[in-house]
Structure 1
């Protein structure tokens, strides 16, 4: 007497695809993706991992939970404002609306009045020049590293880029700026020493093969003690005397001085001091999307814009729209978090801690992203059991905090106040999940962040 092969009970593909909820999934994902989910469930049933009766259930779970993109929103409770691992600057509502408006067809290079082709990114350029009047022109590329590559390629070619040894920086993930510059074909001319560089070191290096002089802000470290550097206001006249462009890579994204970060260079001051070109990032303290911002003299920007590499590194319409909206809209979340009042943050933290029956501890926030490397931002955090870290990270919403000294710390500096209820619910849910795993536990444990990287 033969037993029926259970694989015969596996639902057919056409039947599964005809299920109303499977068909509805096609609104969020392609037909190919839906078919792959169906095939994967059927294959699991054929291998005996699940029963044939569980195939539909598994498919419905997969299509119901799977978003069109894999990136998940995160509540940043680390206190690090420009957190590279969490996508750096969160966009303002104005920038998000601009992204949505620019997602379809748009007049990115089209003059609606005349019907003729227009200059790409004219709105973003105008917004940058309004925010930084010292610049004669502006250009937006896809990130800060691209801006540096374009500048050194267009200005130096295969010639020399003069750079102080004290500014030969390595940033996040082993990324070294000297290697980036050398990759363009330019030759680095190192001057001075690690701790001391003088004006004469620069001028002695100037020659016929010199293409430009580069000054890089050491944003993610400090050399202290017996040190000497040459400020832009002193270096610029020496460069201009021999007709060399001075490029200042500031990195952090400040367009104007910020009182809370007195040591952080800004574009307006650098240009007033004589820099011919300033490079900065869009997704750091500017508070916008990933972008490389180039500001400076008209003829220098024009030289960069004409170079063939400019086409390869140009910003897309979404970045251009978000840059413009960030500059013309209200204060972006990054600057709002930076300027958060410590007393107000403490009161808000105390209210939430009371709801969670958890203690509050002092906790310094940080700028992150290489900005304000040595500037603590006084604040407060809710102290939870360390074991809540994992369930908070993997919950919905995902919450990322700081694990330190056996505790999981939730700093509200970067958490929008309208998300407070969601954060409380996430902690309570994480406690329940941990309790199911360890019934003897009185509390549960939560949120660990990855190490925040610096990267341009």
Structure 2
């Protein structure tokens, strides 16, 4: 006999008090659709030999009622839901990139609850400019003459090129004509700004002389782009930023750098702030402060990557060039809002005041020693082992992600769960409250606690225990 015969008739289910209550709130049509979907899902599971806990019609009725209740509860969820990131990818673009620190969140709440001085000068009582709000904080954090904020880095580079090089040539190495994600490519940004692309060098080798030879009266700027989401190795050559800047100054051409990650630099931290392998990774990552010191005239970077702040695009550099960019009409189209300014200011101050290690979650994750993660993973392992036999600890690797430090790998300890259907376990974890996002390694579901707030360790344990129980 087919196990699906335990499913009750639709008419009987529609007459159930719980279903009638849902009908009164949501309407007959949506409830019937949800019920049909629940029945089809349960029938498929039963015929596949799953849902072993359902043995009679009473069990099936309870399961269906639970499924449609969950379906309507899901409809009431906010479009954006908080999740636990157990993937080990620190800057996870799909999960919102950098989580904000407590100082940034407090600053956002304070300005969001009422009015603020977004475009008002308290001293004069007259209208102010949001584009000058963080000038001092950005100067202190980067060492540049001036700074401004836009809504993302692509916008920042577009308005910078439009203000400084529209209708003129922008010289760029062929090896830096990269795609930055979401299908957006550097040549497209150049065209949108009104600048004319002038390629030099080859894909793997470009020298200072190639840039210099291309400079002409038509040149508006030289653009250097950090290849943030890939590495090129082997027979390659790329000029140092200092050498390129010296040539640009000699020929009186502005040098713009799309630095990308927003990493400010190791010089803001104590020598022992990071484990050795993490420090080595960060030492290889181009730093905003170093770019300014080496002579880049304008440096663009992201706020929500290694800076650990809100999504935004930041420009710092020479005062005269930043003034020209501020005055460009596109600035109104790409301006950031008050919450971004509040969160970014608090994040920058955490760095300049020596509090980033405790106040910026991305920095905390990078700095957490492998031993500390192993201890947390052991506690989670021991909790899960009480209910699930096939749980073990395994060595693994976390990564920075978000187009920052390509190829990065930081040692970690994974909590690895064996299951005959890893995809289904991941789905149950995503269906939980809160959803847990993990990854599969060698057909086992693995959780990396490096990207989990230690305050959420117990929540993660409860969520995993629940997902494992729903077999």
TM-score bracket, normalised by the shorter chain, equals 0.7 to 0.9
Structure 2 equivalent of residue 175 of structure 1: 184
Query: Partner of 2:306: helix, strand, or coil?
Result: coil
Work out the CA distance in 1 between the residues paired with 2:340 and 2:224: 26
Deviations 1:144-195 (A, max 9, x none): 1001101111111011110000111113233211122122221110000001
2:392–2:416 contact (8 Å) kept in structure 1: yes
Structure 2 equivalent of residue 126 of structure 1: 136
1:144–1:291 contact (8 Å) kept in structure 2: yes
Q: 1:389-400, aligned counterparts within 5 Å?
A: 389-400=426-437
Structure 2 equivalent of residue 439 of structure 1: none
Counterpart pick for 2:27 among 38, 41, 51: 41
Work out the CA distance in 2 between the residues paired with 1:372 and 1:58: 43
What's the TM-score, normalizing by structure 2?
A: 0.79
Deviations 1:231-269 (A, max 9, x none): 110011111112110001110011223734121111111
Structure 1 equivalent of residue 373 of structure 2: 345
Structure 1 equivalent of residue 298 of structure 2: 277
1:41–1:59 contact (8 Å) kept in structure 2: no
Q: Determine if the alignment matches structure 1 residue 256 to structure 2 residue 293.
A: no
Q: Determine if the alignment matches structure 1 residue 333 to structure 2 residue 319.
A: no
What's the TM-score, normalizing by structure 1?
A: 0.82
Query: Partner of 1:364: helix, strand, or coil?
Result: strand
Structure 2: which 5+ runs fail to align? Answer: 1-10, 37-65, 268-278, 386-390
Quote how far apart the aligned CAs of 1:346 are: 0.8
Work out the CA distance in 1 between the residues paired with 2:153 and 2:192: 15
Work out the CA distance in 2 between the residues paired with 1:412 and 1:355: 14
Deviations 1:367-405 (A, max 9, x none): 101111122111111001324211011211111111121
Structure 1's 304 and 378: CA in aligned 2 closer, same or farther, altered over 3 A?
Answer: same
Counterpart pick for 1:421 among 444, 454, 458: 458
Structure 1 equivalent of residue 45 of structure 2: none
Structure 1's 341 and 42: CA in aligned 2 closer, same or farther, altered over 3 A?
Answer: same
Counterpart pick for 1:215 among 210, 218, 224: 224
Structure 1: which 5+ runs fail to align? Answer: 1-5, 11-15, 23-36, 51-56, 436-456
Counterpart pick for 1:292 among 309, 313, 323: 313
| Greater alpha carbon shift after TM alignment, 37-46 vs 149-158 | 37-46
2:303–2:314 contact (8 Å) kept in structure 1: yes
Structure 1 equivalent of residue 47 of structure 2: none
1:162–1:190 contact (8 Å) kept in structure 2: yes
1:91–1:333 contact (8 Å) kept in structure 2: yes
Structure 1's 64 and 212: CA in aligned 2 closer, same or farther, altered over 3 A?
Answer: same
Counterpart pick for 2:86 among 77, 92, 103: 77
Deviations 1:206-234 (A, max 9, x none): 01111100001111111111111111100
Structure 1's 347 and 39: CA in aligned 2 closer, same or farther, altered over 3 A?
Answer: closer
Work out the CA distance in 2 between the residues paired with 1:337 and 1:79: 10
Higher helix content, 1 or 2: 2
Structure 1's 298 and 344: CA in aligned 2 closer, same or farther, altered over 3 A?
Answer: same
1:38–1:59 contact (8 Å) kept in structure 2: no
2:131–2:326 contact (8 Å) kept in structure 1: no
Quote how far apart the aligned CAs of 1:431 are: 1.1
Structure 1 equivalent of residue 384 of structure 2: 356
